[in-house]
Structure 1
């Protein structure tokens, strides 16, 4: 495994270790090469007050910052932009006053290069783009089902909900109605099986309908943090709950919340807001390649309610 380094774009956040405030990078060195619709930065984007703006108060002069910057160091050696070296998030720029300028945020987390940790020459072994949203193909089915506004009917058997029990022991159980059985795990099983994957297998056929058992999914692997499309598994009173990570949302006064689409959330299939630490595990298909950029979850713009009942 190598170190991932991200390319820098217009609007990247810079910080000087002698300045009191960060500033944004303005790219003027070229106007053609873009990453995700943002101009890519090069070593020539080092001009004071044009590319690099003042950093508030300078701790050396005790007055207002007046950048006197030198060329950027440690650019990418893998690809050049019309013969000009491109900046990476590890690149630094020295100010002749005494400060060292570094990249706090490269402005994008989709295009990166990977360098070998073991090669003494630090040879670049990959240059790639994160495709996590596109690769989580099962989410297309999740989103299309979510758009149907499926809601439980007490004491009834909705065809839309009953179909999620396909290939489970409950498939032909006439005692099952919308409201007398938790169906979040059955929804997950139905999505994965209808997206070309195997559902959860065990000696107990009922396990695929039990949320907590999906931590042991033979077709998956547990990851430390959520990525788009991951199965989010949590404990609740009386059992567990499971849904699909669909992104994040900033909630005023409460910070960033995780958006999870799942069945049996407030007696419906819908998107709901949770704290990340509500969940005890995140699981993705075992062949799903997770890169650092995958952890930059997309902002979820559609309707998402506060979390409520899950039983």
Structure 2
């Protein structure tokens, strides 16, 4: 037996075929990947470790930039983030106390402590902190550019974008990678149209060097 690290785009059939196994054999080696009530395969996540037939361990070709291998489920900060979807700024003078929590996690107080302060980086900081890992501690997107370690595009990786428009110069945007297609990255992020939501951003807005970061 050997272990294989699930890569972006993998599915059970692809993995089984890649290692000369039948799908039944792959299922036999990984019984927890199947919902026995429905008989359907559970979703595989990049970085998940599965068992295959073989004589050695198989990882990503480029180990320096490989997908993280630490979790057999979505990373804990992503599990926290997805529960926050729908949190949004309040109209009028009142502030959403949840968004104030995000900002306080970065040490923001005083006149800046209101839900109209840019809070996308504060949302990332709060999620990472509440998952038990050490965040950057900053609500400035630019402060996250060298944080953590660079990885390939991986579900749950922190994704950093350049300023979206001229009048937002120096701001940028940051969130967690949820999916990608040929032209877009889909981020679970805060302060996206004043709320936490999953939305698409063009890949052309990715920062040029190591746009995907991991928490450790």
CA shift, 1:246, in A, is 1.6
Q: How many residues align?
A: 175
More helix by share: 2
Structure with the bigger RCO (C-alpha within 8 Å, sep 6+) is: 2
Match of 2:115 among 171, 178, 191: 178
For the residue of structure 2 that corresponds to 1:164, the secondary structure is: helix
Cα displacement string for residues 81-117 of structure 1 (whole angstroms, at most 9, x for unaligned residues):
xxxxxxxxxxxxxxxxxxxxxxxxxxxx87477x9xx
- Cα distance in 2 for residues equivalent to 1:31 and 1:125: 21
**C-alpha contact (below 8 Å) 2:121/2:141 kept by paired residues:** yes
Please state if 1:139 is matched with 2:78: yes
Structure 2 portions without partners, runs of 5+? 35-45, 60-68
Distance in 2 between residues matched to 1:261 and 1:135, nearest whole Å: 13
Deviation at 1:229, TM superposition (A): 0.8
CA distance in 1, matches of 2:79, 2:5: 30
- 4+ aligned runs moved over 4 Å, structure 1: 4-12, 30-33, 109-113, 130-133
TM-score, length of structure 2 as denominator length: 0.64
Normalising to structure 1: TM-score of the pair?
A: 0.46
Distance verdict in 2 for CA 1:157–1:144, change over 3 Å: same
Match for residue 163 of structure 1 among 97, 101, 104: 101
- 1:187 is aligned to 2:99: no
Gaps of 5+ in 1: 15-24, 38-108, 116-123, 202-207, 287-311
Matched, 1:284 2:214: yes
Q: SS of 1:263's equivalent?
A: strand
Q: Which has the higher strand share?
A: 1
- Maintained 8 Å contact 2:121/2:140: yes
